[in-house]
Structure 1
Amino acid sequence: MLYGSTYPRDIFAELNRLQRELEQSFDIEPSIRGIGRGGFPALNVGSTPQSVELYAFAPGLDPAKIEVNLERGVLTIAGERTDQPGTPAQQATVHLNERFHGRFKRVVSLPDDVDPDGVSAVYQNGVLHISVRRQQAAQPRRIDVH
């Protein structure tokens, strides 16, 4: 290979790349296998006692075309990133193209105590931040007997 990345690729990254190319060639919706390492968009998921915080790193998206759904404790992020006009793919023979374009879908199972009415999503500077509030756990209380 005349042109290549100087960074080593592992076999799973290469398989993910091949799967994305096949999905794009045949206009197939990405599979749930994209949950693991190397999916688009890359995710950071963390939690606090009050909320679950998700960060999806997805530069170049139109916020109006991002779908975020929460159903039965499963959060889904879906959308499409189009090839930008003027990219090398349209002007020259491409030897290395690592920028993802096409439809995507990421699925994350959330803890049982999330509040489906307490979800907010903000897309800024190429990062989608989703915050899901946790429900207050029922606190034990003493009941007086009369």
Structure 2
Amino acid sequence: MQEDEFLDAVQQRTGLESRDQAYTITSAVLGVFGQRITEGEAENIASQLPAHIDDVLLSKNAEAEEFSPDEFVERVGARIATQSDITAPTIEIYIRGVMTVLGEAVSGSELDDAREQFPNEFDSLFEPVDMTEQQH
């Protein structure tokens, strides 16, 4: 999947108005996702992503950080702080949209390996976004 295809898919899944917004949201979500998984897993997934999207997944930390689903949402929100009127449910839709596209862009086994690093309480953040859910 090319960068344009990836961002177009994120834009469609999340209902964002522009590709720039899709890139901002994608960077925020993958950046936080990359903090929560091991370095090796992040590298495996990043190797299957388009340029400019792959590097946001790679955390500066070698170890995976442990944090809750609420903190995941908060961290994504902090990275997109320019949109101050954004609510947690909207951020969750953005996370789900990006993760849905990520699942389409990389092999299932790589994403499954990364998902195993998350407790079950994260499952709702990784539910695929149905195209009829486009809200924001």
Per the normalisation by structure 2, the TM-score is: 0.25
- After TM superposition, the score normalised by the length of structure 1 is 0.24
Quick check: which one's strand share is greater? Answer: 1
**Structure number with bigger Rg:** 1
Q: Which has the higher helix share?
A: 2
| Bigger relative contact order, structure 1 or 2 (CA pairs below 8 A, ≥6 apart) | 2
